[in-house]
């Protein structure tokens, strides 16, 4: 971030008229995650694709988006829906071709939309050529992955046991025996996802080449997958220490059986992030253009996030995701949200002047299913009113819910990945085929873009309105200029104040199921405030209309009402 000082010459002398913080595009950007299988199917095979995305990109501009992050589109056998990549520099035929991707980028650039790709450096698919070469100990690939002989099995002479007791994130041992190579390989996720060996410089080079390949095509940055899992502890004698038992479960097959102190958040990860950041910054220096950015996926403590962002000497990820708000559910109240906001702002904003707000992604239950119908709009408005970047998971802007699991469902994460609901037609306008890879959610006749466009206080229009406000001058005033404050007025009502010299807005969000006399909750100074406020945004719960005027001490809020008020005079 840099500051621009606006100076004015008055009577021949230089005086500071105002100090304006100018932010780089990503700092207060509106990000939107597209799950490509589910956004728009252009060829009627029931699976979303790149041409479909290109066709609909303008919709993202309509709703105020700065950048879209695409979940993996690379060649993959799809054991983990694309997070198992077999070729890092090609597009999977399900999604299209490199030419389709170039066309998507061209279109995005023509309408001023940035494109972020998913970068999955922790592992490849077991069908990746690099892994096959490693299995065969081909020159240059012998140590590309984490291999180990394992331990002798005292009970079965000649047999081998895994090198350590590590349990993978998707359960079962993190070590898989490979008959051909006669060694175990490490996989933090599925056995079809062997982990790269980042202690091998050749792996670093290969990953930088991957980044360069996509940067040269014109992408604006990367979301780095599974940052926490990049390194594992290894002793100097080449052995791997067992992880201590967690004591929380007796099931030795589940990931929570052990505490992941040697397989997650190892210190080398931080250096890796700094390496990639330096690479991106150098790329910009050499090639010009806007900042290419790194988003980092890591469900870790703020201590680690702090390191991931930078350490004073080195910079890391521009936006390590803030996952605090992913724990919001139907019982969350104003004090919970105040706590979440405080956690981040007090530490990360103060130190790195950076914030971002995430409530969902393709691994989580959808926010509208977590908080319920009454609170989904409130969440969208509150997020947009906070300083920094918002990251919207496709469908949050219309209140999409998880699909029902008909029958056994081995990976419940997919229930939040159903086809996007464009209209009330066949397959919700996602595909011309009635057979889509996942069923469309039951409520698509009512919850869809087409219908919501026509209803003033629909979830979509509230989302659009709040994103519009987010990009006004008042909302861009930063905390150090006094342009931001927030807090719970009681257990139910959360307040955010944005802007000062460039207009002042007050966001009020009632999490509770009862009427609140807001006038009574304000301080004496506020009660005496004679200013007039105008309703600038209302949700469907509100009994007010946009443009209506009110004084602070006259405000009542009905259950779950969320409003934005604009101060209109002094
Ligand atoms: C995190 C991704 O978000 C998730 O979907 C995937 O299964 C794992 N990383 C493994 O790549």
What's the confidence (pLDDT) of residue 570?
Answer: 55
CB atoms within 10 A of CB 155: 7
Q: By the 8 A CB rule, do 220 and 117 touch? A: no
C-beta of 363 in contact with ligand 1 (< 6 A): yes
Distance in Å, CA 96 to ligand 1 centroid: 22
State which ligand 1 atom lies nearest to the alpha carbon of 363.
5
Nearest CA to ligand 1 atom 3: 363
Domain ranges of the chain: 479-568
Distance in Å, CA 306 to ligand 1 centroid: 22
Distance in Å, CA 508 to ligand 1 centroid: 36
Distance CA 81, CA 439 (A): 16
Distance in Å, CA 566 to ligand 1 centroid: 42
Distance CA 377, CA 385 (A): 12
Segments of the chain scoring below 70 in pLDDT: 1-21, 478-481, 525, 570
Using most ligand atoms within 8 A of CB, pick from 80, 125, 190, 229 the residue to mutate for ligand 1. Answer: 80
Nearest CA to ligand 1 atom 2: 225
**H or E segment and range at residue 16:** strand 13-22
C-beta of 225 in contact with ligand 1 (< 6 A): yes
Architecture of domain 479-568: Sandwich (2.60)
Catalytic residue among 92, 225, 477, 504: 225
State which ligand 1 atom lies nearest to the alpha carbon of 188.
10
Nearest Cα residue to 33 out of 228, 295, 291, 214:
295
**Cβ contacts of residue 285 below 8 Å, gap of 6+?**
none
C-beta of 80 in contact with ligand 1 (< 6 A): yes
Using most ligand atoms within 8 A of CB, pick from 226, 227, 358 the residue to mutate for ligand 1. Answer: 226
**H or E segment and range at residue 326:** none
C-beta of 189 in contact with ligand 1 (< 6 A): yes
Catalytic residue among 41, 176, 195, 297: 297
C-beta of 226 in contact with ligand 1 (< 6 A): yes
DSSP code of 468? H
DSSP code of 69? E
Distance CA 336, CA 334 (A): 5
- Reply yes or no on whether 297 is catalytic: yes
What's the confidence (pLDDT) of residue 23?
Answer: 85
Query: What are the C-alpha distances in Å from 294 to residues 113, 297, 321?
Result: 16, 10, 10
Using most ligand atoms within 8 A of CB, pick from 189, 224, 299 the residue to mutate for ligand 1. Answer: 189
pTM summary value? 0.95
Distance in Å, CA 569 to ligand 1 centroid: 50
DSSP code of 137? T
């Amino acid at each position: 971030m840099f500051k621009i000082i606006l100076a004015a010459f008055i009577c021949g002398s230089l005086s500071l008229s105002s100090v304006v913080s100018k932010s780089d595009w990503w700092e207060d950007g509106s990000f939107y995650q597209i799950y490509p299988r589910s956004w728009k199917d252009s060829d009627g095979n029931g699976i979303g694709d790149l041409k479909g995305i290109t066709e609909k990109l303008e919709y993202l501009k309509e709703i105020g988006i700065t950048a879209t992050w695409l979940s993996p589109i690379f060649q993959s056998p799809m054991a983990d829906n694309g997070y198992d990549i077999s070729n890092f520099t090609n597009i999977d035929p399900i999604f299209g071709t490199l030419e389709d991707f170039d066309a998507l980028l061209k279109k995005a650039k023509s309408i001023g939309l940035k494109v972020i790709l998913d970068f999955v450096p922790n592992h490849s698919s077991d069908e990746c050529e690099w892994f096959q070469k490693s299995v065969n100990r081909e020159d240059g690939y012998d140590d590309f992955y984490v291999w180990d002989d394992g331990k002798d099995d005292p009970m079965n002479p000649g047999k081998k046991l895994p090198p350590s007791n590590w349990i993978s994130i998707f359960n079962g041992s993190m070590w898989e025996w490979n008959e051909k190579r006669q060694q175990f390989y490490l996989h933090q996720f599925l056995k079809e996802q062997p982990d790269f060996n980042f202690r091998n410089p050749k792996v670093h080079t290969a990953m930088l080449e991957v980044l360069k390949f996509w940067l040269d095509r014109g992408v604006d940055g990367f979301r780095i997958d599974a940052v926490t899992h990049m390194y594992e502890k290894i002793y100097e004698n080449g052995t791997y220490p067992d992880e201590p038992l967690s004591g929380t479960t007796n099931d030795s097959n589940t990931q929570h059986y052990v505490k992941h102190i040697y397989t997650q958040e190892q210190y080398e990860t931080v250096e890796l992030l700094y390496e990639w950041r330096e690479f991106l910054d150098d790329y910009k220096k050499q090639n010009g253009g806007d900042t290419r950015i790194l988003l980092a996926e890591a469900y870790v403590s703020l201590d680690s996030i702090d390191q991931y962002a930078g350490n004073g000497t080195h910079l890391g990820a521009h936006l390590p995701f803030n996952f605090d708000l992913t724990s919001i559910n139907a019982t969350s109240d104003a004090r919970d949200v105040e706590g979440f906001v405080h956690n981040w702002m007090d530490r990360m904003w103060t130190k790195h002047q950076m914030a971002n707000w995430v409530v969902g992604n393709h691994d989580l239950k959808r926010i509208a299913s977590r908080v319920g119908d009454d609170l989904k709009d409130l969440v969208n408005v509150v997020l947009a009113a906070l300083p920094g970047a918002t990251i919207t998971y496709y469908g949050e802007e219309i209140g999409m819910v998880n699909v029902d699991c008909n029958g056994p469902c081995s990976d419940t994460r997919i229930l939040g990945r159903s086809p996007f609901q464009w209209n009330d037609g066949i397959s919700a306008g996602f595909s011309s085929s009635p057979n889509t890879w996942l069923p469309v959610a039951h409520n698509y006749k009512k919850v869809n873009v087409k219908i919501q466009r026509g209803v003033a206080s629909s979830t979509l229009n509230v989302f659009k309105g709040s994103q519009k406000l987010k990009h006004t001058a008042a909302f861009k005033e930063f905390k150090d200029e006094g342009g931001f404050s927030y807090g719970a007025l009681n257990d139910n009502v959360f307040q955010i104040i944005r802007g000062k010299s460039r207009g002042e807005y007050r966001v009020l969000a009632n999490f509770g199921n009862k009427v609140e006399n807001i006038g009574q909750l304000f301080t004496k100074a506020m009660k005496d405030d004679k200013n007039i406020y105008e309703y600038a945004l209302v949700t469907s719960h509100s009994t007010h209309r946009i443009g209506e005027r009110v004084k602070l001490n006259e405000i009542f809020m009905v259950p779950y009402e969320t409003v934005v008020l604009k101060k209109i005079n002094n």
